[in-house]
Structure 1
Amino acid sequence: MDTTILLFLLQDGITNGAIYALLGLALVLVFAVTRVIFVPQGEFVAYGGLTFALLEAGRVPGTAYMVVVFGLVAFAAEIVSRRRSLHLPQIGREALAKIALPLAVLAITQVAVAAKAGSLVNLVLTVAIVAPIGPYLYRIAFQPMADASVLVLLITAVGVHLALTGVGLVFFGPEGLRAPPLSDASIPIGPIVATGQSLAIYVITAGLIVALGLFFGRTLTGKALRATAMNRIGARLVGIRLALSGRIAFGLAAVIGAVSGVLIVPMTTLYYDTGFLIGLKGFVAAIIGGLVSYPLTAAAALMVGIIEAFASFHASDWKEVIVFTLLLPVLLIRSWTDPHHDEEE
């Protein structure tokens, strides 16, 4: 292997690792706040990428209609569960958030598609379409069992993953989609060339990580989420609404997934079920980070991306096996060194 090939593999590994870092951070965030090992995180990636590809092709994506359906179901679930305590102003707020908002997004999407608004608008629309699915999904599937054990929540997450995969087939169909790159620019770096898409991945990933850091460190909502992650019972005692914290966490996870999908879809063809494998690699990074450490998760994601790139070059048939085998020593070490702790409940 010469230096040029080495640099190409490093570039490819860092590019993929940046995506895995975003997914790993989303998984850590959701688990810390809600105790849900969020298996369907990859579905947000697929939904985001396919939504963006359809918008770039001048078509209204199925997710624009999907979010309306999810909103209606979430609204019905909220009304039924709180039917004895809801008042008219509360019903109005719920209808605004769960019915009017997705309908407005659908209408704006139809106008933007007809006007051929451009890639930047399509990126913003993709996030606006996919992001509400997260809170609606939490309200429908996870909020009713928020106090259940981690095992029950994991089983629910697996069921949600299977359901979202089927829903993706219905709304997107079996065909794969690909989008044009966000930028055609390129910068020569020695013997290699950094493409515009790679540069966009680096910039957007760094921007999202900085934004998340500022959100958790400087805003009241972010501090409330941190308090919920540290001690759910204590957060509840001081008046932090755990249900709202869960919806915010799922919303952030959906935003991160949608942006990741937009970054990935110009590089590879995405199908309705592609997100699962991508999400699993973010899960490997999150597990190495112990599902608690954001910096360690980001570093582990870069390591996973680089190892995958070199494995693709030397043993392409075994690259997935090599990546997922990284979990074994980590899990063994944790089982030997970490004492067992019963859940708070």
Structure 2
Amino acid sequence: MDLNIFLVLLEDGIANGAIYALLAVTMVLVFTTTRILFVAQGEFVTFAALTFASFQIGAVPQIVWLLGIFAVAATGVELFNAVSVRNFRRIPAILGLYLAVPFVLIAVSIWLAPLKAPAIVQAAVSVAIVTVLGPLVYRIAFQPVSNASVRLLFVIAIALHFILQGFGLLFFGAEGFRVEPMIDAGFDVGMLHVKGQVVLIIATLAVFTTALYAFFEFTTPGKALRATAINRVGARIVGIKPDLAGKLAFLLTAFIGGVSGVLIVSSTTIYYDSGLLIGLKAVLGAICGAMLSYPMAIIGSIGVGILEGFGAFWASAFTEAIVFSALIPVLLWLSFRAAPTEEGHEL
């Protein structure tokens, strides 16, 4: 291996690690807020990536029908609950948020697909579809059992992964997709040619990290999420609704997952089942921060990406084994630290 190859592998590793870092940050957010180890986060990435690829070839992304199914189901549950307690004032809000917004997105997608709109417009609609899907997933799958144990929530997350993966196969098929980079330019730094798409991915990580910091520190919803993460019971006592915090957490994680999918589909071929490995590598990065620390999750995820890049060069057949073997020393290190309680977490 010469210096040029080393730098190329390092560049690719950092780019992949930045994607894992985006997902790891949202996994920490979801876990501290809802106690859910959301391994199905990778499905948001694949759905956004394959939706974007569908727009690129002028086809209506079939995932919009899944959005419609989830919207109708969530609306039915909310309407039943509202009628049961005779809270009829909530009905217009329920119909607007749970039914109108998703079906407007469905109509926009059907209208936009054959127009061959600019890539940035297609990417925005793809991210919007996945973003709206996030809170619907929480409402249907997790909110009814939000007070369950961490183990049960994890089992539900695993089951949800396989359900969403099955829908991915149904709606997108087994064929993989890859699109042209959104930024095809690049520049030279010494012997290394830095791709514009890599710069975009790293810049996205920096922007989202800064935005999340500002969100948690300076906004009321962000402070509510922090309060829920630190003490769910205490947050409930002061009037913060844990279920509303859960929906907001899933909204953010779906949005960031959607952006990650749009970015990654131009650098690697994405299949309907690619979400599992992407999600697990993000989990590995998040575990480096003990599922609590955002900075450590980012550093660990970038390390995972670099390890993956060099592992693929030295032993491509054993890349995944090399990457996930790194979990062993991380778990050994964490085993010497005090485990967090279910009701109290530190950000």
Counterpart residue type for residue 220 of structure 2? L
Percentage of identical aligned residues: 46
Closer, same or farther: CA 253–340 of 1 in aligned 2, 3 Å: closer
**Residue equivalent to 1:75:** 75
1:7 aligns with 2:10: no
Contact 1:79 1:86 (8 Å CA) reproduced:
no
1:53 aligns with 2:72: no
Alpha-carbon distance, 1:203 to partner: 1.8
SS in structure 2 at match of 1:83: helix
Q: Which runs of 5+ in 1 are unaligned?
A: none
SS in structure 2 at match of 1:193: strand
**Residue equivalent to 2:304:** 304
Contact 1:48 1:126 (8 Å CA) reproduced:
yes
Closer, same or farther: CA 229–191 of 1 in aligned 2, 3 Å: same
Write the mapping of 1:254-333 to structure 2, written as runs, cut at 5 A: 254-333=254-333
Distance in 2, Cα, partners of 1:334 & 1:6: 31
Alpha-carbon distance, 1:3 to partner: 1.1
Contact 2:82 2:88 (8 Å CA) reproduced:
no
Counterpart residue type for residue 133 of structure 1? L
User: Is the deviation greater in 111-120 or in 62-71?
Assistant: 111-120
Write the mapping of 1:28-43 to structure 2, written as runs, cut at 5 A: 28-43=28-43
Counterpart residue type for residue 302 of structure 1? I
Alpha-carbon distance, 1:200 to partner: 1.6
**Residue equivalent to 1:232:** 232
Distance in 2, Cα, partners of 1:164 & 1:113: 23
Write the mapping of 1:142-221 to structure 2, written as runs, cut at 5 A: 142-221=142-221
Counterpart residue type for residue 142 of structure 2? F
Deviation digits for residues 258-307 of structure 1 (CA, Å, limit 9, x no counterpart): 11111111111111111110111000000111000000000111111111
Closer, same or farther: CA 325–108 of 1 in aligned 2, 3 Å: same
Closer, same or farther: CA 343–308 of 1 in aligned 2, 3 Å: same
Counterpart residue type for residue 7 of structure 1? L
With the length of structure 1 as denominator, give the TM-score of the two structures: 0.96
Alpha-carbon distance, 1:173 to partner: 1.4
Distance in 1, Cα, partners of 2:58 & 2:224: 41
**Residue equivalent to 1:94:** 94
Deviation digits for residues 144-191 of structure 1 (CA, Å, limit 9, x no counterpart): 000000001001111111110111111111211111110111111111
Alpha-carbon distance, 1:83 to partner: 3.1
Deviation digits for residues 37-83 of structure 1 (CA, Å, limit 9, x no counterpart): 00100100100100111111111101222211111111112223343
Q: Which runs of 5+ in 2 are unaligned?
A: none
**Residue equivalent to 2:337:** 338
With the length of structure 2 as denominator, give the TM-score of the two structures: 0.96
Contact 1:37 1:154 (8 Å CA) reproduced:
yes
**Residue equivalent to 1:112:** 112
Contact 2:51 2:126 (8 Å CA) reproduced:
yes
Distance in 2, Cα, partners of 1:272 & 1:237: 42
Closer, same or farther: CA 333–184 of 1 in aligned 2, 3 Å: closer
Alpha-carbon distance, 1:340 to partner: 5.1
Distance in 2, Cα, partners of 1:86 & 1:125: 36
Root-mean-square deviation over aligned CA pairs? 1.4
Contact 1:63 1:130 (8 Å CA) reproduced:
no
Alpha-carbon distance, 1:87 to partner: 3.0
Distance in 2, Cα, partners of 1:328 & 1:182: 37
Deviation digits for residues 205-240 of structure 1 (CA, Å, limit 9, x no counterpart): 221222111111111101100110011011000000
Closer, same or farther: CA 266–341 of 1 in aligned 2, 3 Å: closer
Alpha-carbon distance, 1:341 to partner: 5.8
Distance in 2, Cα, partners of 1:311 & 1:343: 36
Deviation digits for residues 90-138 of structure 1 (CA, Å, limit 9, x no counterpart): 1111111111111111112222223322111111101111101110000
Distance in 2, Cα, partners of 1:342 & 1:61: 42
Distance in 2, Cα, partners of 1:124 & 1:284: 28
Counterpart residue type for residue 338 of structure 1? R
Distance in 1, Cα, partners of 2:46 & 2:24: 16
Counterpart residue type for residue 212 of structure 1? L
Contact 1:285 1:304 (8 Å CA) reproduced:
yes
